[in-house]
């Protein structure tokens, strides 16, 4: 798990580190942790390095806010999971507009940090499905799948890294993807709700830029299923 944390309080970063180490040890996950006390340095690092999770303090030194830093990164297409941390809920609405998965108040408790990581989908044990591409079977982690779509007789499985062409029905693939975060939005379109960046009445915008259409007939039920999943602990 690649985590970047930014807070101008060194003590808080020192408290965060053992909490993350303990959680990763408990869930048998590797941890790559990068810490910053300067917001602009953190911003520059994230421009050139991947992160699965960014834990960002809202109030930083020198008048900088974590909200503004993340907004700049989101505008450039960065889709990392985001957890905001602060002593005030003043920016709560703005934080969720930036696709924050969780909002933590100081002082940080290990139980709340675990809940935040779980909401981000980062505490799942490694799971794989095996699919036949015609050349050779491939192992794909369900959490890496952004969307599955049908074109002609093939299913195209889009991950952030690449796209796989599979000769299979979407129903058979759906049977393999039993995780609660998958949702059929339209005939022939299956999305991973962990990768949704935006939803409106007509489509879901995914983290890879794919626009997943929403069925007209039961669109309210599809949108409701997504909102119910968001609200789950």
pLDDT digits (tens, 9 = 90+) for 161-205: 899 999 888 998 998 898 889 999 999 999 999 999 999 999 999
pLDDT tens-digit map of 78-112: 889 999 887 765 655 555 567 778 888 888 889 99
| Residue where one domain finishes, among candidates 119, 154, 174 | 119
Give yes or no: residues 169 and 68 share one domain.
Answer: no
Give yes or no: residues 103 and 148 share one domain.
Answer: no
**Within a domain: 136:** no
Give yes or no: residues 112 and 170 share one domain.
Answer: no
pLDDT tens-digit map of 11-42: 989 999 999 999 888 877 889 999 999 999 99
CATH code of the domain in which 149 resides: 2.40.50.1020
**Within a domain: 127:** no
CATH code of the domain in which 58 resides: 3.40.50.2300
| Residue where one domain finishes, among candidates 88, 119, 150 | 119
Q: Which domain holds residue 13?
A: 2-119
Give yes or no: residues 67 and 156 share one domain.
Answer: no
Q: Closest Cα partner for 86 from 68, 104, 70, 66?
A: 104
Give yes or no: residues 147 and 112 share one domain.
Answer: no
Res 124: pLDDT? 65
pTM beyond 0.75, yes or no: no
């Amino acid at each position: 798990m690649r985590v970047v944390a930014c807070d101008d309080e060194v003590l808080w970063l020192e408290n965060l580190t053992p909490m993350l180490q303990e959680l990763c040890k408990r869930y048998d996950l590797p941890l790559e942790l990068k810490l910053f006390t300067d917001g602009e340095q953190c911003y520059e690092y994230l421009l050139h390095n991947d992160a699965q999770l960014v834990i960002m303090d809202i109030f930083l030194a020198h008048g900088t806010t974590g909200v503004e830093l993340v907004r700049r990164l989101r505008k450039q297409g960065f889709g990392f999971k985001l957890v905001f941390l602060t002593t005030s809920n003043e920016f709560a609405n703005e934080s969720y507009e930036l696709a924050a998965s969780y909002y933590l108040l100081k002082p940080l408790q290990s139980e709340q940090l675990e809940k935040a990581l779980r909401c981000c989908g980062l505490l799942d044990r490694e799971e794989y499905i095996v699919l036949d591409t015609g050349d050779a079977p491939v192992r794909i982690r369900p959490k890496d799948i952004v969307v599955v779509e049908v074109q002609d007789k093939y299913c195209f499985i889009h991950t952030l890294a690449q796209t796989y062409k599979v000769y299979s029905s979407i129903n058979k693939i759906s049977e393999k993807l039993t995780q609660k975060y998958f949702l059929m939005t339209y005939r022939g379109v299956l999305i991973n709700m962990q990768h949704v960046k935006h939803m409106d009445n007509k489509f879901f915008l995914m983290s890879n830029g794919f626009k997943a259409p929403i069925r007209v007939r039961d669109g309210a039920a599809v949108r409701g299923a997504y909102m119910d999943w968001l609200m789950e602990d």
